[in-house]
Amino acid sequence: MANPINISLIIPCYNEEANLQKGVLDKIGNFTKNDPRFREIIIADDGSTDNSKKIIKEKYLGLFSKFKLCENTHQGKAYAIIAGIKAAHSDYVIFSDIDLATPIEETEKLIKEAENGGQIVIGSRRSRREGAPLPRIILSFGGNFIRSFLFNFQKISDTQCGFKLFERKAADDIIDRSYLYKGKRHVNGPSVTAAFDLEFLFLAFKLGYKVKEVPVHWRHMETRNVNFIKDAVETLSDIAKIKWYELQGKYDN
């Protein structure tokens, strides 16, 4: 019988004091603490300015032995995820949004696909946006339209769900070939850097990695880390950069 896969779970965090007070890390810690597949839980902080880091250090690092805090300067969610991947020591990494809009138990679906050969496994909400406000729905479907027009994602229906599994070696390879998130980025306030998922999957398909999509349960969780206008402008700008880099042949090197 093959040995079970080993996983680093990455949780990006930026000013998440409200979610921490709801007990999201307790749910994650209790779910993973006795599961040998989860080697470490990396909380990748994106330069939080509230009490998030203090709460994590004083309460959770001692409470759950697998928890680690990866502290970064504030550059946006994508950079926090990348830092978490670079700090990981497992063969696979899973990242999940800290609000647990997709319940942590849904990791079983990602793991099953990885055990069946998936190198990149993405959770999919399909067309469901349960409880999401109208601006979020417009942003999502507008992004999907532009994505399908500019890129070939081979019938992938949802690139933006914050619930994905990567083979770590594949993730390292893809990140090293990324152009969108090289160097530092100056941001003010929350920054979801949504185009990270697009460039990552664009490169995954281009490099021939096995990409699988699996439906997961998702429900909208109210958060102040999403700004409709700001995030839409940032995402469109980054999508244009990806297409420009592709036309220049930068991704062919």
Tell me the three-class secondary structure of 113-128, residue by residue: HHHCCCCEEEEECCCC
In this predicted structure, what is the pLDDT of residue 138? 53
In this predicted structure, what is the pLDDT of residue 178? 93
pTM: 0.87
Q: Which CATH number fits domain 7-252: 1.10.4160.10, 3.40.50.300, 3.90.550.10, 3.40.710.10?
A: 3.90.550.10
In this predicted structure, what is the pLDDT of residue 121? 97
In this predicted structure, what is the pLDDT of residue 125? 82
Please write the tens of the pLDDT for every residue from 85-120.
999 999 999 999 999 999 999 999 999 999 999 999
What averages of pLDDT result for each successive group of 10 residues across the chain (253 residues)? Answer: 84 96 97 98 97 98 98 94 97 96 96 96 74 54 59 75 95 95 80 84 93 89 63 82 91 84
Rounded Cα–Cα distance for residues 184 and 83 (Å): 12
Q: Whole-angstrom distance between the N-terminal and C-terminal Cα of the chain? A: 40
Exposure string of 80-95, with b = 16+ CB inside 10 Å and e = fewer, is bbbbbbebbebebbbb
Which one-letter DSSP state was computed for residue 81? H
In this predicted structure, what is the pLDDT of residue 161? 86
In this predicted structure, what is the pLDDT of residue 24? 97
In this predicted structure, what is the pLDDT of residue 227? 63
Nearest CA to 69 out of 24, 55, 38, 78 is that of 55
Count, residues in the chain: 253
In this predicted structure, what is the pLDDT of residue 1? 39
Rounded Cα–Cα distance for residues 245 and 240 (Å): 9
Quickly count: other Cβ atoms within 10 Å of residue 105's Cβ: 12
CA–CA–CA angle 185, 189, 191 (5° rounding): 60
In this predicted structure, what is the pLDDT of residue 190? 77
Do 103 and 77 contact (CB within 8 A), yes or no? no
